[in-house]
Amino acid sequence: MLVAVVGDVHGRFFRVEEWVEELEKNLGEPVAAVWAVGDVETFATPDDHRRKSTKRNMPAEFAAYARGERRMRREFVFVGGNNEDFEDLERFPHGGELVPGVRYLGRAGVRAMHGLRVAYLSGIYAPTRFDRPRMPATSAESSKQAGYFRQADVDLVRAVPSADVLMLHEWPRGIAGRDSAVARAGARGIRQRHWPQVGNPHAAAVVSGLRPRWVLCGHLHVPHAATLRWDDGRVTRVACLDQAARPDGGFLWMRWEGNIVRAVGWGTSGEVNWRPGQPWDERQTASRIRIEPRERRGDEMGAAPSEDEASEHSQPPSVPPSAPDVP
């Protein structure tokens, strides 16, 4: 089974469909499903997109699907990010189909998809909101807080007994060290010494407890690969994706046989970049890191995290340091 994974879409649905079609042509087989890791922006009208979207002036292409002018060719499934049409998504706390072929998984939980157990946690961590109730998304401020997960969401996904895949929006803390490629490159303008604290500790606790085969995430617009090895012999591979601006870092495909991934490739060429026994680490992604000019970072890549989004230090532990695979 062939699955395509896409980073933060930010309204670029037509581009994602083009990438899927190009991948299918190059591999000579159909994509069974497209998995998106949040910040999808399913605004039903262009006016909604202009009025509600934050940080970016991105295309309002989902309106064509909402009006029935286009139909998604392949099943498109996504977790929520921190930039979404929350007024609509909040109608489906446990997930639902927004238009034919486009399904929101919900806030947190696990689902069976194509024979795989896929756990998910939507949103990002904000310490000032984590223990407060979620408000209805009816204004600019209340829509923003809808993009933060709560303790109940984390508890729900931590109660999942097992999963093949964990889909997140924000990175789990502890997957990029000071000497990682993202740290050395100064990606997102983050200083090298701060990279061990990038990501949130609650997602890290979920990863540590669940220990899935694969973790997929986005949010930072930086491609990054890491392998986590556990004391019981299990291995978790993490794939962080760039936004859907460039396919080399924002789009990957996975060929599954049962619940085992037999091949992974970045982009649409169909070239295999990883097979079992090969390293899954920053060698997969270092060349894919693109550093935006500093003057553009606030508009295209998003502003620095707000106080709400800043992670606290006295929280659950990070995941263990990443380690390269050995054949």
The residue segments making up the domain with residue 181 are: 2-301
Mean pLDDT for the stretch of residues 200-204:
97
Is 120 part of a structural domain of the chain?
yes
Report pLDDT digits (tens) over 72-98: 999 999 999 999 999 899 899 999 999
Q: Which two tokens stand for residue 246?
A: 């460039």
pLDDT in tens, 17-69: 999 999 999 999 999 999 999 999 999 887 776 666 555 567 789 999 999 99
Q: Say if residue 295's pLDDT is above 60.
A: no
Residue 291 pLDDT class (50, 70, 90 cuts): confident
Residue 303 has pLDDT above 90, yes or no: no
* 194 falls within a domain: yes
Residue 28 belongs to some domain of the structure = yes
Counted domains in the chain? 1
pLDDT of residue 124: 97
pLDDT in tens, 121-130: 999 999 999 9
Give me the chain's average pLDDT, please. 88
Task: Judge whether 110 lies within some domain.
Answer: yes
Does residue 327 belong to any structural domain of this protein?
no
CA distances from 57 to 16, 116, 160, 197, 301 (A): 18, 36, 37, 29, 11
Residue 288 belongs to a domain: yes
The answer to whether 175 and 319 are in contact (CB under 8 A) is yes
Q: Quick check: 240 pLDDT over 80?
A: yes
CATH number of the domain bearing residue 134: 3.60.21.10
pLDDT score for 161: 95
E strands within 82-200? Answer: 96-99, 102-104, 108-113, 116-121, 165-168
168: helix, coil or strand?
Answer: strand
**How many C-beta neighbours within 10 Å does residue 254 have?**
20
90 in a structural domain: yes
Residue 113 confidence (pLDDT) above 90:
yes
In a domain, 79, yes or no: yes
State the pLDDT confidence band at 115, using cuts at 50, 70 and 90: very high
Closest CA to 118 of 155, 163, 185: 163
Give 143's pLDDT tier (boundaries 50, 70, 90).
confident
Which pLDDT score is estimated for 55? 52
Both tokens assigned to 280: 């899954």
- Structure tokens given for 107: 């806030």
pLDDT at 301: 35
Q: Quote the percentage of the chain above a pLDDT of 90.
A: 79
DSSP characters over 280-321: -SGGGTGGG-----HHHIIIII-PPPPTTTPPPSSSSPPPPP
Mean pLDDT, residues 8-14: 95
Going by C-alpha positions, the residue among 231, 187, 241, 193 that lies closest to residue 320 is: 231
- For residues 196-213, average pLDDT: 97
**Is 70 exceeded by the pLDDT of residue 294?**
no
